[in-house]
Protein backbone atom coordinates (compact mmCIF):
# COMPACT_ATOMS: atom_id res chain seq x y z
CA UNK A 1 0.00 0.00 0.00
CA UNK A 2 1.33 3.44 -0.95
CA UNK A 3 1.45 5.98 1.83
CA UNK A 4 -0.02 9.36 0.94
CA UNK A 5 1.78 12.29 2.53
CA UNK A 6 -0.59 15.08 3.48
CA UNK A 7 0.81 18.57 3.21
CA UNK A 8 -0.69 20.94 5.76
CA UNK A 9 -2.44 23.96 4.28
CA UNK A 10 -0.11 26.90 4.74
CA UNK A 11 -1.40 29.35 2.20
CA UNK A 12 -4.61 30.03 0.33
CA UNK A 13 -5.11 32.17 -2.77
CA UNK A 14 -8.74 33.09 -3.31
CA UNK A 15 -9.79 34.44 -6.70
CA UNK A 16 -13.00 36.51 -6.85
CA UNK A 17 -14.23 37.05 -10.42
CA UNK A 18 -17.86 38.10 -9.86
CA UNK A 19 -19.30 41.03 -7.93
CA UNK A 20 -22.55 39.52 -6.73
CA UNK A 21 -23.07 39.34 -2.98
CA UNK A 22 -22.87 35.57 -2.77
CA UNK A 23 -19.55 35.23 -4.62
CA UNK A 24 -17.83 38.18 -2.97
CA UNK A 25 -18.86 37.12 0.52
CA UNK A 26 -17.79 33.53 -0.17
CA UNK A 27 -14.27 34.83 -0.84
CA UNK A 28 -14.29 37.21 2.12
CA UNK A 29 -15.54 34.59 4.56
CA UNK A 30 -12.99 32.01 3.37
CA UNK A 31 -10.14 34.53 3.58
CA UNK A 32 -11.17 35.71 7.03
CA UNK A 33 -11.51 32.13 8.24
CA UNK A 34 -8.05 31.35 6.89
CA UNK A 35 -6.32 34.23 8.68
CA UNK A 36 -8.17 33.33 11.89
CA UNK A 37 -6.72 29.81 11.58
CA UNK A 38 -3.20 31.12 10.99
CA UNK A 39 -3.25 30.33 7.27
CA UNK A 40 -1.68 32.90 4.97
CA UNK A 41 -4.46 34.32 2.77
CA UNK A 42 -4.33 36.37 -0.40
CA UNK A 43 -7.44 37.60 -2.23
CA UNK A 44 -7.16 38.32 -5.97
CA UNK A 45 -10.04 40.26 -7.54
CA UNK A 46 -10.43 40.04 -11.30
CA UNK A 47 -12.95 41.00 -13.99
CA UNK A 48 -16.30 41.99 -12.43
CA UNK A 49 -15.00 40.95 -9.01
CA UNK A 50 -13.11 44.26 -9.06
CA UNK A 51 -16.38 45.97 -8.10
CA UNK A 52 -15.96 44.42 -4.64
CA UNK A 53 -12.79 46.46 -4.08
CA UNK A 54 -13.69 49.55 -6.12
CA UNK A 55 -14.49 52.42 -3.72
CA UNK A 56 -17.51 53.46 -5.78
CA UNK A 57 -19.23 50.04 -5.71
CA UNK A 58 -17.80 47.93 -2.89
CA UNK A 59 -20.65 48.48 -0.44
CA UNK A 60 -23.36 48.51 -3.12
CA UNK A 61 -23.23 44.90 -4.32
CA UNK A 62 -26.33 43.03 -5.52
CA UNK A 63 -27.35 39.42 -5.74
CA UNK A 64 -28.07 37.82 -9.09
CA UNK A 65 -31.76 36.99 -9.56
CA UNK A 66 -31.47 35.86 -13.18
CA UNK A 67 -29.84 32.51 -13.90
CA UNK A 68 -29.36 31.65 -10.22
CA UNK A 69 -30.62 28.06 -9.80
CA UNK A 70 -30.12 28.18 -6.03
CA UNK A 71 -32.45 31.16 -5.61
CA UNK A 72 -35.58 30.25 -3.68
CA UNK A 73 -38.71 32.16 -2.71
CA UNK A 74 -40.12 32.04 0.82
CA UNK A 75 -41.50 28.53 1.28
CA UNK A 76 -38.72 26.95 -0.77
CA UNK A 77 -40.18 27.28 -4.26
CA UNK A 78 -37.67 28.02 -7.02
CA UNK A 79 -37.41 31.70 -7.92
CA UNK A 80 -38.71 32.15 -11.50
CA UNK A 81 -35.91 33.59 -13.62
CA UNK A 82 -38.34 35.84 -15.49
CA UNK A 83 -39.19 37.67 -12.25
CA UNK A 84 -35.59 38.84 -12.08
CA UNK A 85 -36.11 40.86 -15.25
CA UNK A 86 -38.84 43.00 -13.68
CA UNK A 87 -37.49 46.43 -12.63
CA UNK A 88 -36.85 46.62 -8.90
CA UNK A 89 -36.92 42.87 -8.22
CA UNK A 90 -33.13 42.49 -8.08
CA UNK A 91 -32.84 45.53 -5.80
CA UNK A 92 -35.56 44.13 -3.53
CA UNK A 93 -33.97 40.69 -3.34
CA UNK A 94 -30.57 42.27 -2.68
CA UNK A 95 -32.04 44.46 0.09
CA UNK A 96 -33.65 41.39 1.66
CA UNK A 97 -30.37 39.47 1.54
CA UNK A 98 -28.45 42.43 3.05
CA UNK A 99 -31.07 42.70 5.82
CA UNK A 100 -30.62 39.02 6.66
CA UNK A 101 -26.84 39.49 6.69
CA UNK A 102 -27.20 42.53 8.99
CA UNK A 103 -29.31 40.44 11.38
CA UNK A 104 -26.42 37.96 11.53
CA UNK A 105 -23.91 40.80 12.09
CA UNK A 106 -22.13 40.06 8.81
CA UNK A 107 -19.96 43.13 8.20
CA UNK A 108 -20.06 45.18 5.00
CA UNK A 109 -17.28 44.61 2.46
CA UNK A 110 -15.00 47.41 3.71
CA UNK A 111 -15.15 46.15 7.30
CA UNK A 112 -14.49 42.59 6.15
CA UNK A 113 -11.41 43.83 4.29
CA UNK A 114 -10.31 45.58 7.52
CA UNK A 115 -10.59 42.30 9.41
CA UNK A 116 -8.76 40.29 6.76
CA UNK A 117 -5.86 42.73 6.41
CA UNK A 118 -5.63 43.20 10.20
CA UNK A 119 -5.19 39.44 10.44
CA UNK A 120 -2.35 39.50 7.89
CA UNK A 121 -4.37 38.78 4.75
CA UNK A 122 -3.46 40.53 1.52
CA UNK A 123 -5.72 42.02 -1.15
CA UNK A 124 -4.71 42.30 -4.82
CA UNK A 125 -6.35 43.49 -8.04
CA UNK A 126 -5.83 41.93 -11.48
CA UNK A 127 -3.79 44.15 -13.80
CA UNK A 128 -5.44 43.02 -17.02
CA UNK A 129 -8.96 43.56 -15.63
CA UNK A 130 -8.02 46.92 -14.09
CA UNK A 131 -6.57 48.00 -17.44
CA UNK A 132 -9.71 46.80 -19.27
CA UNK A 133 -11.99 48.77 -16.95
CA UNK A 134 -9.57 51.72 -16.82
CA UNK A 135 -9.18 51.50 -13.05
CA UNK A 136 -6.16 52.78 -11.16
CA UNK A 137 -5.04 52.05 -7.61
CA UNK A 138 -6.72 55.34 -6.57
CA UNK A 139 -10.10 53.90 -7.66
CA UNK A 140 -9.64 50.89 -5.39
CA UNK A 141 -10.00 50.33 -1.68
CA UNK A 142 -7.03 51.37 0.42
CA UNK A 143 -6.83 47.70 1.45
CA UNK A 144 -5.51 46.77 -2.00
CA UNK A 145 -1.76 46.22 -1.77
CA UNK A 146 -1.12 46.29 -5.50
CA UNK A 147 -2.46 45.72 -8.98
CA UNK A 148 -0.64 42.59 -10.18
CA UNK A 149 -0.51 40.18 -13.10
CA UNK A 150 -1.60 36.56 -12.94
CA UNK A 151 2.09 35.63 -13.19
CA UNK A 152 2.76 37.69 -10.07
CA UNK A 153 -0.08 35.86 -8.32
CA UNK A 154 1.34 32.46 -9.20
CA UNK A 155 4.79 33.54 -8.07
CA UNK A 156 3.26 34.34 -4.67
CA UNK A 157 1.69 30.91 -4.39
CA UNK A 158 4.80 29.40 -2.87
CA UNK A 159 4.16 25.93 -4.28
CA UNK A 160 3.49 23.03 -1.92
CA UNK A 161 0.93 23.64 0.80
CA UNK A 162 -0.97 26.29 -1.19
CA UNK A 163 -4.60 25.97 -2.19
CA UNK A 164 -6.08 28.10 -4.99
CA UNK A 165 -9.84 28.70 -4.71
CA UNK A 166 -11.94 30.33 -7.43
CA UNK A 167 -15.31 31.73 -6.37
Domains of the chain: 11-59+108-166 (3.40.1260.10)
pLDDT at position 130 over 80:
yes
- Contacts for 152 with CB less than 8 Å, ≥ 6 apart: 124, 127
Residue 88 pLDDT:
81
Q: In whole angstroms, what is the distance from residue 154 CA to residue 148 CA? A: 10
Residue 43 pLDDT:
97
Q: In whole angstroms, what is the distance from residue 135 CA to residue 110 CA? A: 18
Tell me the three state secondary structure of residue 146.
strand
Q: Please report, rounded to a whole number, the percentage of residues in the chain having pLDDT higher than 70.
A: 92
More confident residue, 71 or 155: 155
More confident residue, 70 or 98: 98
- Pick from 154, 161, 156: which is nearest to 5 by CA? 161
Tell me the three state secondary structure of residue 135.
coil
Q: Which of 46-55, 68-77, 88-97, 138-147 has the lowest mean pLDDT?
A: 68-77
Q: In whole angstroms, what is the distance from residue 164 CA to residue 58 CA? A: 23
Residue 1 pLDDT:
61
Q: Give residue 165's pLDDT band: very low, low, confident or very high (50, 70, 90).
A: confident
Q: In whole angstroms, what is the distance from residue 24 CA to residue 34 CA? A: 15
Q: In whole angstroms, what is the distance from residue 109 CA to residue 123 CA? A: 12
Q: Give residue 5's pLDDT band: very low, low, confident or very high (50, 70, 90).
A: low
* 30-55 pLDDT tens trace: 999 999 999 999 999 999 999 999 99
pLDDT at position 9 over 80:
no
pLDDT at position 154 over 70:
yes
Amino acid sequence: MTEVKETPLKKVLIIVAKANIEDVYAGLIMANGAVMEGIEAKLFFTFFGLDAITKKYMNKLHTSTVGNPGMRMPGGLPFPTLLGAIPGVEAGVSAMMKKQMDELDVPPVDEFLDMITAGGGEIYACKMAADMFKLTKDDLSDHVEAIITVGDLYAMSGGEGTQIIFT
